[in-house]
Structure 1
């Protein structure tokens, strides 16, 4: 069977606006596709290759996304993004290690595995310091800590939580920024568009908690850092978070492997869903041509 005749599976348990737009972009381009809810998916590990040309990963649950992608990849179904990329991007510590390993400018950071050492690390970095969970999105449980007393309270709270990942204390230098961060959408080697995420009634800029999206000019410096950041975690279609300080210095911060983009569409008018589909089909066709050669 010519696998090019098989559908591309869009893996998503929740079909948000972004997923609907991707499905519409696939339809407009005449690309065979199928929405697959991973909660209803069964894969026989001794069976045949699953009947998909590829899997476009849009699953919001990080653990489920990594598990599904790893399974499909092992059984011969290409996944976009790749399992290793999902794995790294879902962990802020591993992302930082990848960015530092690539020599990119990043905020000073520390990690500790005990309450006392975490408090000492806060003092070492210098207050204010940002405490983040190593997993999670939308700015949840991210706290700006102003002094040792507040730091002790935050650490004691985290230590009392049942999840073991809450006991990995990831701490980051607080960048004195002009009330906004930058989100850059990267597809392969190309920047699709960029937005400012402007803080509204909160020091955090996440649009999921009320931050406002406005267009951000794509300069050569911004484009180069965003693409290098995406490559450092393995590449693909990614949302790259950059920080900018009051001296306009840029820092690579985090990378989202399943970024939301409706705010970027509203702010810039870019056809982000179309870019995702065009990038995915081009990647797939190149891989298939190489396999036939």
Structure 2
């Protein structure tokens, strides 16, 4: 918290203070905004909290999806306004629900199938076609995402999936493998506006910065900007990292909407003339003023 006895205007929920969170806290201190950091690992509360006046708005930067969702619900029950909301965080964290929400909003997305068992996934793959991608329902940074070039590979992968102990792991999310031009696009969105966009390049078919992808500023956001803003609005995310992919004809499609915008790569490409952390702080302060 900032020095002095001033009550915090805002709070930041984070169990790990990474480079992005350090930038956010530094932005709050630079602007003289009293704040408190809440560690999700020590957070607890009652289902029927006592109403004791206005509560600070909270920026949800919790790295654990489960703690991010339940932490937001706990804080909202106590009267805090949370960015992003518990509902938006839960929706963005579930790839299938995100896909169906984007499709219902009429936004272009890759063809996607959900199978409730590994056996049903093989039948679904016959209809979807190969190559395809198997993704976990909940997950990030490209972990446990597998490319499926043919049925034989799918059978081997799904045999492994069937042996996993978690019932949720047996629900299989399949998506067509879009023939992208060696890159995808990450667009930062806050308050219904584009912060900036970057191309993410990688020698691997997964273009996650966490997996070593390198970034390049995307200057022309004339098409992808409105699409990213619409995707964030569809899932109710005030702050979002929207991932898009271009097909062989250059047409963008929405892959995912991330409620916890990780912006180190975005900041690197945009340069210090576009302070991403300050844009997030602006949205947090706007939420607190509502």
Same-fold call, TM cutoff 0.5: yes
For 1:291, the equivalent position in structure 2 comes to: none
Distance 2:80 2:73 in 1: 10
| Range 122-131 or range 42-51, more displaced | 42-51
Q: Cα offset for 1:45?
A: 4.1
For 1:166, the equivalent position in structure 2 comes to: 169
TM-score where L is the length of structure 2: 0.93
Aligned residues: 282
SS in 1 for 2:223: helix
For 2:196, the equivalent position in structure 1 comes to: 193
SS in 1 for 2:185: strand
Q: Is residue 49–residue 77 contact of structure 2 (8 Å, CA) maintained in 1?
A: no
1:216 corresponds to 2:218: yes
1:152 to 148, 151, 155: 155
2:22 to 15, 20, 32: 20
Equivalent residue runs for 1:18-167 within 5 Å:
18-49=20-51, 52-167=55-170
Q: Is residue 7–residue 32 contact of structure 1 (8 Å, CA) maintained in 2?
A: yes
| Range 187-196 or range 209-218, more displaced | 209-218
C-alpha deviations, 1:206-264, integer Å up to 9, x for none?
11011111111242211110000000101311000001123111001101111211111
Q: Is residue 9–residue 52 contact of structure 1 (8 Å, CA) maintained in 2?
A: no
Structure 2 gaps, min length 5: 1-5
For 2:205, the equivalent position in structure 1 comes to: 203
Distance 1:174 1:240 in 2: 18
For 2:227, the equivalent position in structure 1 comes to: 225
Q: Is residue 199–residue 217 contact of structure 2 (8 Å, CA) maintained in 1?
A: yes
Distance 2:213 2:102 in 1: 25
Structure 1 gaps, min length 5: 288-293
For 1:241, the equivalent position in structure 2 comes to: 243
1:251 to 253, 268, 272: 253
Q: Cα offset for 1:42?
A: 2.8
1:267 corresponds to 2:260: no
Q: Is residue 58–residue 284 contact of structure 2 (8 Å, CA) maintained in 1?
A: no
SS in 2 for 1:220: coil
Q: Is residue 19–residue 58 contact of structure 1 (8 Å, CA) maintained in 2?
A: yes
Q: Is residue 135–residue 165 contact of structure 1 (8 Å, CA) maintained in 2?
A: no
Q: Cα offset for 1:46?
A: 4.4
SS in 2 for 1:106: coil
C-alpha deviations, 1:143-168, integer Å up to 9, x for none?
11011000011111111111222111
For 1:278, the equivalent position in structure 2 comes to: 282
SS in 1 for 2:243: strand
